[in-house]
Structure 1
Amino acid sequence: MNTIVFIETNKSGSSREAIKAAEKLNFFTVLLTDQKRFLEERSEFPDVHQMIFTDINDYDNLITVIHNLKKTGKNIKGIFSFIDYFVYVAACLSEKFCKSMVSTDAIYHMENKILTRNVLKNLPISLNYLIYKPTESLSSFLKTVEMKFPLVVKSPESAGSKDVLLAKDRDQLISSMQTLLKKRPNEEILLEEYVDGPQYLVEVLVHNKKVHIIAVIEQEITFFERFIVTGYSLLGQLDTKLHYSLLNAIHSVVHAFDIKNGACHLELRRVNGIWKLIEINPRISGGAMNRMIEVGHGINLVQETIQLMLGNKPSLNKKHYKYVYTHYLTVPYRGKLIRVTGKKRSSKYPGVEEVYIKPKKGSILKPPKSMGDRCGYVLAASFSKQEAKRIALEAAKEISFDIEPMNTTA
């Protein structure tokens, strides 16, 4: 039985759509997870043919689980993950058990923000940065910091903005570093220069060293206590000059990482005509991204990524060029969700393609400190950029979260 094994998923978004894509490609799907609630909600995962509750943080255990699957007659064609922390693990296991096509070493470096900066340090696309080692005295290190404020303070393993802090002055820098050290006392800390300007997310697939720009998305970032993306605008038609300047910048990054085959998304800002890399991740962006690309260009990117990783040629021809805007929903204060109203009304707006509400009744909601704290989204499409955004924002006004306020402590 031709089988694809997935290591972890979210209930919705790109990682879940990858499992659905594998099922559509007629593979038997196996999910390895350490989330007990998924077993309790088993009926909500019809696309997962076999769910195994196991310790996915233990590499030797994963090897044992996969050996056991093979013993039961599963012909394992691929081991994949679309979740942070497990992309590299899955690539290593694929290398061990299957014919792996992805550039594993590149994934390893991309998953760590400090290793990423070291790979790119001699390129114009790189930001100025410093690395704090926990063996150093914090007070001694701070005396050597000559970078101008504001600075961005990051954990090298951070994902979804959870451990990315803005320091506008020395006091905030000390506070930010102490916050990260409290959480991970033995981990290095990355300090980067803060650059201003419009931010773009670029979804890329590399096949036999050829770079394919799948989608370019303008990001709208709202600063709560963290940098949270609250709006994504997928550009239908791309200005030729913008396309080639992005392509040149991305080529330099792909070459530096020596990516032969693989998927990644880059977050970039343009400063004085020069592209600067904010982040790179070795997978498609999560949340609504796969759906946005499908609506905007007719490409199911997770499906084509699976094809690539299986050694097949991905189908990347764009069927159309729509503008897509996704507005993410957040709440202003902490509280218990009583009910959500307006979803049906919002869905009926002409141009709205999807309305997704994440939390269930009784959930505890709070202002976002990570992308995972966002409460849902409204996704709209049009052949006009401004119209797609207008529709999404108007439709989002219909949605209301009725919250019972709670104590403000996290």
Structure 2
Amino acid sequence: MKSGSSRDALRVANEMGYVTCLLTKNMDHIQKRDEFPEVSIMYYVDLDYLPEVRNAIMTLKVQNHVIYAIVSFVDPYCGLAAQLSEENRLDSFTAAALYKMENKLITREVLENTPYNPRYLVVNSQNRDAVEKSIEAMLPVVLKYVESNGSRDVYLCKGKEDFCRYLSTLLRNYPRGNVLVEELIDGPQVIVEVLVNNEITNIIAIIEQEILINQNHFIVTGYNLVIDDETEKYQKLKQDVKTIVKQFGLKHGPCHLEMRYFDNEWKVIEINPRISGGGMNQLLLIGLGLNLVKETINLALEEKVDLEPKQKTPTFAKYLTIKKSGILARITGKNQVIASPGVQFVYIKPRRGKKLYPPLNLGNRYAYVIATGESSEEAKENAHKALEKLKFHFY
């Protein structure tokens, strides 16, 4: 957690003058406690065992800490944080809605009989044989484990052989689980960042995505902040998003939707109960002058929320992936990247000695550059050219 929305949230809360307590099940965080100066208190907690989480909160109260907010910026604990807020009689996000968004099958059920679902099936160990026999009429499809996140356990299947292989993988990993089979929507994909404040749905930003397909996995490698969102296509998108958010019953809290456009219709690829991870908050801060993580915390605290963009600057984030596995020996070119035209922010994730892999999930993106320009095209070109100067060298 060197970077990302969760780290941004800890830093923001600390800057606002609050005591920050991080509940984590990642032992690496505990062992590297000194790398988190913005964290006042850190507890190792099994976040999947509710009594243990409740005990941690009770411990804070016994120590005379006054709890003002309980929030999570990671799957799958957004709903849990909202539930705990309700239990502790805090102003909370809509827990029931957030829980629905955390499960891809429940998401499809919420959107049943709306125009926003692609065709889909549910397959498990009991009905897999029947589905495998009839799947060819539906191909190409996307396979998703219903509780996957960060593109893990999501596969593109163009043919029956791919389908059977990846279905076997998912059912082997989750023998009692359900797998979604969705028709492939072949069109441009965007993220829509949303913050709902007392039943008012605020569309914060639309971000166009560049997607790399590697070994049947979808890897987002580029994000373009849409400056002109008044086109007919994006006006329809914003109206559709408000309808979808209402369908989930989200009255208070954050979410982001991934949507694809095909045949003049917008389809929901997925919806998540938080701001996008990675460099999204930094992208919005540079492009709009808006700190969405801070405003999300303000919303949780029932403080004034300011969602008015301070500017609209063409901004593009480009991510780095590698083609071959290797152990990182050194990185060169960072100073050249920083000095490149339009570059506003550079983030490099791995350290020397770390084993790196070609991208099979979003965790296999190892650096990003955020750049601006006079136009969206120039911002994109600046980001691409700058990132090309960053070189990873392997042993």
CA offset digits 1:135-154 (Å, max 9, x no partner): x1421232344752100000
**2:143 aligned residue:** 153
Cα offset for 1:255? 1.6
Matched, 1:398 2:389: yes
Counterpart pick for 2:36 among 45, 64, 67:
45
Residues of 2 paired with 1:101 and 1:64: CA distance? 19
**Distance in structure 2 (CA, Å) of the matches to 1:362 and 1:384:** 39
Aligned to 1:281: 272
Q: Which runs of 5+ in 1 are unaligned?
A: 1-9, 405-410
Kept in 2: contact 1:358–1:376 (CA 8 A): yes
How far apart are residue 37 of structure 1 and its match?
Answer: 1.9
Equivalence for 2:331? 340
Q: CA RMSD in A?
A: 1.3
- 1:238 aligns with 229
**Pairing partner for 2:291 from 287, 293, 300:** 300
SS in 1 for 2:14: helix
Per-residue CA deviations over 1:18-57 (Å, capped at 9, x if unaligned) read 1111112211100011222222222221110111122222
Which deviates more from structure 2 when the two are superposed, residues 51-60 or residues 274-283? 51-60
Q: What is the CA distance between 1:101 and its match in structure 2?
A: 2.8
Matched, 1:62 2:53: yes
SS in 2 for 1:101: coil
Percent identical: 41
Shift of 1:311: 2.1
Q: Deviations over 1:293-323 (max 9, x none)?
A: 0001011001101111222331001100011
Contact 1:76 1:98 in 2 (8 A): no
Shifted more, 111-120 versus 136-145: the winner is 136-145
TM value normalised by structure 1: 0.94
Deviation at 1:86, TM superposition (A): 1.0
- Greater than 6 Å deviation, 4+ residue runs: none
2:127 and 2:104 map into 1 onto residues whose CA distance is 22
Deviation at 1:13, TM superposition (A): 0.9
Equivalents in 1 of 2:95, 2:380: separation in Å? 38
Aligned AA (2:382): I
Counterpart of 2:213, as a letter, is F
Q: Tell me which amino acid in the other structure corresponds to 1:163.
A: D
Partner of 1:143: 133
Distance in 1, Cα, partners of 2:389 & 2:10: 32
- The CA deviation string for residues 367-386 of structure 1, in whole angstroms up to 9 with x for no partner, is 01110111110110123101
- CA shift, 1:206, in A, is 1.0
The answer to whether the Cα contact below 8 Å between 1:77 and 1:98 also exists between their aligned partners in 2 is no
Partner of 2:303: 312
Q: Which amino acid aligns with 1:112?
A: N
Residue 49 of structure 1 aligns with an amino acid whose one-letter code is S
Structure 2: 5+ residue stretches without partners:
none
Paired position in structure 2 for 1:4: none
Letter in 1 for 2:307: L
Contact 2:143 2:155 (C-alpha < 8 Å) held by counterparts: yes
Read off the aligned partner of 2:102 and give its amino acid letter: E
Kept in 2, the 8 Å contact 1:103–1:261? The answer is yes
Which position in structure 2 is the counterpart of 1:5? none
Judge conservation of contact 2:324–2:358 (CA < 8 Å) in 1: yes
